[in-house]
Structure 1
Amino acid sequence: MNADNNMMSGFYEGILIAIKMFIASSVFPFVVIFVILSIILQWKMPVLKGKYGEWVVKSKLRNLGDAYTVFHDVYIPNGERGLTQVDHIVTSVYGVFVIETKHYSGWIFGDEYKPYWTQVIYKKKTKMHNPIRQNYGHVQALLTYIGQEDMQDVHSIIAFSSNSTLKFKKDFTSAHVIQFPDLLTTISQYKEHFISEATVKGTNEKLAKLLVIDKNDRKRLKAEHMRSVRRAKGAKLTAHSYTRHAKNVSRQDDSILHTACPKCNGNLALKIGRYGKFYGCSHYPTCRYTENVKVDRQSV
Structure 2
Amino acid sequence: MKINLFIILFAILLLPFFLLISPLIIPIVLVFLVLFLKINYATIKGAAGERHVNRILNQLNSNYKVYHDLYVPNKRGGTTQIDHVVTSPFGVFVIETKNYDGWIFGDENQKYWTQVIFKRKEKLFNPIWQNYGHMKALKHYIGEDFEFIHSIVAFSPRATFKFKGGFKSARVIQYPQLVKVIMEWNIYKIGHAELQQINRALDRLILTDKKEKRELKRQHVQAIKIDRQMMAKKEIENIEQNVCPKCGGALSLRKGKYGAFYGCSNYPKCRYTKRVS
TM-score interval (norm. to shorter): 0.7 to 0.9
Partner of 2:169: 174
Partner of 2:88: 92
Q: What CA distance in whole angstroms lies between the structure 2 residues aligned with 1:102 and 1:183? A: 13
Assess if the C-alpha contact under 8 Å between 1:158 and 1:176 holds in 2: yes
Rounded Cα–Cα distance in structure 2 between residues aligned with 1:140 and 1:35? 44
SS for the counterpart of 2:59 is helix
Q: 1:127 aligns with which of 104, 123, 130?
A: 123
**What is the CA–CA distance in structure 1 between the aligned matches of 2:163 and 2:54, rounded to whole Å?**
26
TM alignment of 1:237-252, pairs within 5 A: 237-247=232-242
Cα gap change, 1:81 to 1:232, in 2 (>3 Å): farther
CA distance in 2, matches of 1:111, 1:75: 28
2:231 matched to which residue of 1? 236
Q: Say if 1:235 and 1:26 are closer, same or farther in 2 by CA, change over 3 A.
A: closer
How many correspondences in the alignment? 223
RMSD, aligned CA: 1.8
1:216 paired with 2:211, answer yes
Rg (Cα) greater in structure: 1
Q: Give the match for residue 275 of structure 2.
A: none
Call closer, same or farther: CA 1:200–1:169 in 2, change over 3 Å. Answer: same
Whether 2:221 is the aligned partner of 1:226: answer yes
Report if aligned partners of 1:81, 1:229 keep a CA contact under 8 Å in 2: no
Alignment of 1:1-300 (within 5 A): 27-80=23-76, 82-147=78-143, 149-247=144-242
Matched residue SS, 2:190: coil
More deviation in 136-145 or 225-234? Answer: 225-234
Amino acid across the alignment from 1:77: P
| TM-score of the aligned structures, taking structure 1 as reference length | 0.70
The superposition leaves residues 181-223 of structure 1 with CA deviations (integer Å, 9 ceiling, x where unpaired) of 1111110111111111111100000011111111111111111
| Aligned-residue offset at 1:152 | 2.4
**Any idea what the Cα deviations from partners look like across 1:230-250, whole Å, max 9, x if unmatched?**
2321221121121233249xx
Query: Relative to 1, partners in 2 of residues 1:31 and 1:227: Cα closer, same or farther, differing over 3 Å?
Result: closer
**Alignment gaps of 5+ in structure 1:** 1-24, 249-300
State the secondary structure of the residue aligned to 2:109: coil
